[in-house]
Amino acid sequence: MFSKPATTITQQIETLKNRGLIIVEKDNAEHILAHISYYRLGEYWYSMQDNKEQHTFKPNSKFSDVIFLYQFDKELRLLLFDVIAKIEISLRTKLIYHLSHEIDPWWFQNFDLFIDSKALVKTLSNLEEEINRTKDITIKNHLKKHKDDLRFPPSWKTLEQTSLGSLSKLYGNLRNDKVNSKDLIASEYGAVNHTYLPSWLQSIAQIRNFCAHHTRLWNKNVPGNPKLLSKPPNPWIRSENIPKQHEFPKLYIHLCLMKYLLNVIKPNNKFTEKLLSLFGRFPNVDPEALGMKDNWQQEDLWKN
What's residue 197's pLDDT? Answer: 97
Q: What is the pLDDT of residues 102-111, one digit of tens each?
A: 999 999 999 9
What's residue 293's pLDDT? Answer: 92
Residues linked to residue 114 through DSSP beta bridges, in sequence order = 174
Q: What is the pLDDT of residues 173-219, one digit of tens each?
A: 999 999 999 999 999 999 999 999 999 999 999 999 999 999 999 99
Provide the greatest CA pair distance for the chain: 71
Q: What is the pTM of this model?
A: 0.94
pLDDT-derived band at 43 (thresholds 50, 70, 90) equals very high
What's residue 143's pLDDT? Answer: 85
Q: What is the pLDDT of residues 232-261, one digit of tens each?
A: 999 999 988 898 888 899 999 999 999 999
What's residue 150's pLDDT? Answer: 83
